[in-house]
Amino acid sequence: MKVKVKDLKTKDKHIKNLAAIVGGARSILYQETDLLAYDCDGFTIHKHLPKAVVFPKNTQEVAEIVKYCSKNELPFLARGAGTGLSGGAIPLNGEIIISMVKMKKLLSVDLENRRAVVEPGFVNLKLTNSISDKGYYYAPDPSSQSCCTIGGNVAENAGGAHCLKYGVTTNHILGLEVVMPNGEIIEIGQDGIPDAPGYDLLGLITGSEGTLGIVTKITVRILKNPEGKQTVLAYFDSVEDGSQAVSDIISAGIVPAALEMMDKIAIEGVESAAFPVGHPKDIEAVLLIEVDGIAAGINEQIEQILEVCRSRNVREVRAAKNEAERARWWANRKTGFGAMGAISPDYLVQDGVIPRSKLPEVLRKINQISVESGLRIANIFHAGDGNLHPLVLFDSRVSGESEKALEAGSLCLKACADVGGTITGEHGVGIEKREEMRFVFTEEEIAAQTEIREVFNPDNLLNAGKLFPSPSRCVEIKQEMKTQAIS
């Protein structure tokens, strides 16, 4: 195999050495034309070329790459499918990208103990597809699930429409194998056994956006399919009524599997795109409400939901006639982000979270931001858990409009933070929201987090420059003092 290293059209010794680790020229990209595809992820506003992209096939190779990078002080990062929306996989510092796409095996399934072990490059939806014939599924369902990787999901602590009832990725991770930034391999949550004695590193690493280690194996919890499912669609002439219906459903003690909302501009988008379902163009809000569980209990809850919607001046409300209709409604919703492409050359997705009761207030504020910026903002959101996705529509060819879109996005996050919410519910901070971290955390609180990073990633060669705002002087000085005190 190693002979192939000779085929490399480069004199760079690092490229050659890395190629040797992964078994030859075919497992590494290093020419600019090839690297262009890796200069950004789903966050396309920031771009930077990596030094190289390597494709390891197993944990051992990942560990050797990492050791090599660490020894030679080459910055590096992991990349899954590159669907991240906050720029987590962008090689800001000309990193060596360690692509996990060749590590895509489903290693084992243990239905009796409700767990499965996957490699990080395994695509989210494939897991459910592999076990659905036995009546099981993997719960976290990001809209990108047909292409994003479970490794990427762990890094971002991805959520999805059905996380209202079943929780986000972190609630479904039982074990991880991780290559530490110095190349050491550790295993946390062996065999998926819960509550391993010690600090909860599973919980800490999940959602750490690939800055604490590279995940090379994942044990996840799998669930039994619910016996029954029913979905309701409701059209409202005012966003207030729609939001109020959301609150009423929750207050009635119903725990819907999903509770989604789209506003007028979002509806215009999805109806112009690949999966239109005939939503009326003149309504202000559509709700998609799903209840699942024991079939015998579902009708009662659906009746209650219909009742609530009617009491909130719904224009039209009905339950899906059959599975085909239900699937159409969901396809329409789940392709919502991409659908904005049909009505705008570019769009920026934001990801704020608010206490549910502040929905009308924050939507009014977002509308005001739209008016003031002159940019249209569509809203698609997980209303049940208050996770908003304002989609700022813009045209990057118009000079200054990208900046304006970023600014409007940031203001939307400020609006969320101001009512006691947060700046990201599932897409992560990445590059995009680094500065916005200050909306929710003090310098001290940010320092408390970067100090934890230093325990795992002391040289900060792994995915540097993500997640945290550039430290202000005062924090740097404090850290300096601390290092002196310890040494």
Partner 1 sequence: MITAESMNELKEFIREDLVMAGENEAHPFGNSGHAVVYPESEEDISAILKYANTKGLTITVMGGGTKRGYGGLTETTDILLSLERHRGIVEHTPGDMTLTVKAGTPFKELQDYLAKHKQKISLDPFWPEQATIGGIIAANESGPKRLGYGSARDAVIGLRTVYPDGKVIRSGGKVVKNVAGYDMNKLFIGSMGTLGVVSEVTVKLRPLPKCESLVLVSFPEGHQDKIQPFAVKVLDSMIEPVSLELLNPTLADRLTGQKNYTLVLSFEDVESSVQYQENFIKNILPEGTELKIVSKEEADVFWKKFYHHIPNGAAEITSETEASLKVGSVNLKVLQILKNSELLQDQFNVSVEAHGGLGHGLSQIHIRGAGKDVAAAVTEAREIAEKEGGYAVLKHLPFKLRKEVDVWGKSPSYFFLLQGIKATVDPKKTLNPNRFVGGI
Q: How far apart are CA 175 and CA 162, in angstroms?
A: 22
Q: Which window, 67-75, 109-117, 142-150, 271-279, contacts ligand FAD (CB under 6 A)?
A: 142-150
Tokens of 334: 């789940």
Q: What is the DSSP string of 23-92?
A: TSGGGEE-SHHHHGGGS--S--SS----SEEE---SHHHHHHHHHHHHHTT--EEEESSS--SS-TT--T
Angle between helices 359-373 and 239-251 (to 10 degrees): 150
Least separation in angstroms between CB 97 and ligand FAD? 9
∠ CA 202-204-209, rounded to 5°: 105
> How many other CB atoms are found less than 10 A from the CB of residue 115?
19
Identify residues 458-477 at the interface with ligand FAD (CB under 6 A): 463
Q: Please select the residue that binds ligand FAD; options are 74, 89, 291, 320, rule is CB under 6 A.
A: 89
Q: Which window, 17-25, 152-160, 223-231, 239-247, contacts ligand FAD (CB under 6 A)?
A: 152-160
Residue with tokens 């430290």: 471
Q: What is the DSSP string of 322-353?
A: SHHHHHHHHHHHHTHHHHGGGT-SEEEE---B
Identify residues 307-336 at the interface with partner 1 (CB under 8 A): none
Q: Please select the residue that binds ligand FAD; options are 144, 244, 332, 373, rule is CB under 6 A.
A: 144
Q: Does 206 bind partner 1 (CB under 8 A)?
A: yes
Q: Does 384 bind ligand FAD (CB under 6 A)?
A: no
Least separation in angstroms between CB 143 and ligand FAD? 4
Smaller CB distance to ligand FAD: residue 100 or 188?
A: 100
Identify residues 54-83 at the interface with ligand FAD (CB under 6 A): 77-83
Tokens of 165: 């009832």
Q: Please select the residue that binds ligand FAD; options are 50, 91, 142, 175, rule is CB under 6 A.
A: 142
Identify residues 54-73 at the interface with partner 1 (CB under 8 A): none
Identify residues 398-437 at the interface with partner 1 (CB under 8 A): 420-429, 433, 437
Measured distance between the N- and C-terminal CA atoms of the chain, rounded to whole angstroms: 47
Which residues, at least 6 apart from 52, have a Cβ–Cβ distance to it below 8 Å?
14, 15, 18, 28, 29, 30, 35, 96, 97
Burial of 375 (0-12, 13-18, 19+ CB in 10 A): buried
Q: Does 111 bind partner 1 (CB under 8 A)?
A: yes
Give the x-and-dash track for 310-349 against ligand FAD (CB under 6 A).
Answer: ---------------------------xx-----------
Q: Does 306 bind partner 1 (CB under 8 A)?
A: no
Q: Please select the residue that binds ligand FAD; options are 18, 54, 63, 155, rule is CB under 6 A.
A: 155
Is residue 172 a contact partner of residue 221, using CB atoms and an 8 Å limit?
Answer: yes
Smaller CB distance to partner 1: residue 70 or 449?
A: 449
Q: How far apart are CA 468 and CA 447, in angstroms?
A: 9
Is residue 246 a contact partner of residue 288, using CB atoms and an 8 Å limit?
Answer: no
Least separation in angstroms between CB 22 and ligand FAD? 16
State the sign of the Cα–Cα–Cα–Cα dihedral 432, 435, 436, 442. positive
Least separation in angstroms between CB 425 and partner 1? 4
Smaller CB distance to ligand FAD: residue 263 or 385?
A: 385
Which one-letter DSSP state was computed for residue 192?
A: G
Least separation in angstroms between CB 359 and ligand FAD? 19
Identify residues 192-221 at the interface with ligand FAD (CB under 6 A): 209-210, 214-215
Q: Which window, 2-10, 67-75, 401-409, 442-450, contacts partner 1 (CB under 8 A)?
A: 442-450
Q: Please select the residue that binds partner 1; options are 27, 128, 157, 216, rule is CB under 8 A.
A: 157
Least separation in angstroms between CB 142 and partner 1? 12
Binding partner selected for residue 143 from ligand FAD, partner 1, none, CB under the kind-specific 5 to 8 Å limit: ligand FAD
Q: How far apart are CA 55 and CA 237, in angstroms?
A: 51
Q: Please select the residue that binds ligand FAD; options are 42, 56, 269, 352, rule is CB under 6 A.
A: 42
Binding partner selected for residue 400 from ligand FAD, partner 1, none, CB under the kind-specific 5 to 8 Å limit: none
Q: Which of 94, 22, 12 is nearest to 59 (CA)?
A: 22
Give the x-and-dash track for 181-200 against partner 1 (CB under 8 A).
Answer: -----xxx-xxxxxxxxxxx
Is residue 52 a contact partner of residue 65, using CB atoms and an 8 Å limit?
Answer: no
Give the residues lining the site for ligand FAD (CB under 6 A): 41-42, 77-85, 88-89, 100, 120, 142-144, 148-149, 151-153, 155-156, 158-160, 209-210, 214-215, 337-338, 426-427, 463
